[in-house]
């Protein structure tokens, strides 16, 4: 640790008496500099194809494992309980995200079909003077009659899970 010594006797006032000397210790540098270095992060665990295949099969049948089931699976795959537990937690997160995006895609497809049907209906009735405005057609084609997003600045776009590719079922390989 570096220290800076300062002698107060050099700072005298002309009218005051001589002050006694003292040393001020001040740290120099970043405050975290003197801490012990952090422990190295454990490298990412690589699982074999056979382990992943067994984990995926089990996940397909059962999304949650009891501790005894987890322990048995870990032992049969030569893994630790913590590795199996973490793998299942991560896989459930991925599963929820993929399921959510699939549901959103289906809702968007249904909305587009309703809009197309409405536009075809309006085109057929155009000559009769009963054409609805595009905004009303959109409102009728949208679930719940809402066409707020992206027009309404207070509404938000649909939530997306980033970086997750669709996962095929174990039987599809």
pLDDT value of position 3: 47
Higher local confidence (pLDDT), 131 or 44:
44
What does the mean pLDDT of the chain come to?
Answer: 74
Check whether 8 has a pLDDT greater than 50: no
Which comes out higher in pLDDT, residue 152 or 73? 73
Average pLDDT of the segment spanning 125-133:
62
Find the distance separating the first CA and the last CA of the chain, reported in whole Å. Answer: 61
pTM score:
0.47
59 near 91, Cβ under 8 Å?
yes
For the chain, the three-class secondary structure string (H helix, E strand, C coil) is CCCCCCCHHHCCCCCCCCCCCCCCCCCCCCCCCCCCCCCCCCCCCCCCHHHHHHHHHHHHHCCCCCHHHHHHHHHHCCCCHHHHHHHHHHHHHHHHHHHHHHHHHHHHHHHHHHHHHHHHHHHHCHHHCCCCCHHHHHHHHCHHHCCCCCCCCCCCCCCCCCCCCCCCCHHHC
Yes or no: say if 70 and 85 are a contact pair by the CB < 8 Å rule. yes
Structure-model confidence comparison of residues 123 and 7, the more confident one: 123
Confidence band (pLDDT; 50, 70, 90) for 63?
Answer: very high
Phi-psi region of 87 (alpha: psi -120 to 50; beta: other; left: phi over 0): alpha
pLDDT at 121: 86
């Amino acid at each position: 640790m570096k220290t800076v010594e300062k002698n107060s006797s050099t700072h005298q006032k002309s009218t005051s008496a001589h002050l006694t000397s003292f040393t001020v210790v001040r740290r120099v540098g970043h405050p975290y500099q003197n801490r012990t270095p952090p422990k190295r992060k454990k490298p990412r665990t690589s699982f074999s194809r056979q382990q992943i295949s067994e984990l995926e099969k089990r996940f397909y049948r059962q999304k949650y494992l009891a501790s005894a089931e987890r322990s048995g699976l870990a032992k049969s795959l030569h893994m630790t309980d913590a590795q199996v537990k973490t793998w299942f937690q991560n896989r459930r997160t991925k599963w929820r995200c993929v399921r959510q995006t699939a549901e959103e895609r289906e809702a968007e497809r249904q909305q587009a079909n309703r809009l197309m049907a409405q536009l075809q209906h309006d085109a057929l009735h155009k000559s009769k003077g009963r054409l609805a405005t595009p905004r009303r057609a959109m409102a009728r084609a949208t679930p719940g009659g809402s066409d707020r997003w992206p027009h309404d600045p207070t509404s938000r776009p649909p939530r997306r899970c980033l970086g997750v590719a669709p996962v095929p079922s174990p039987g599809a390989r």
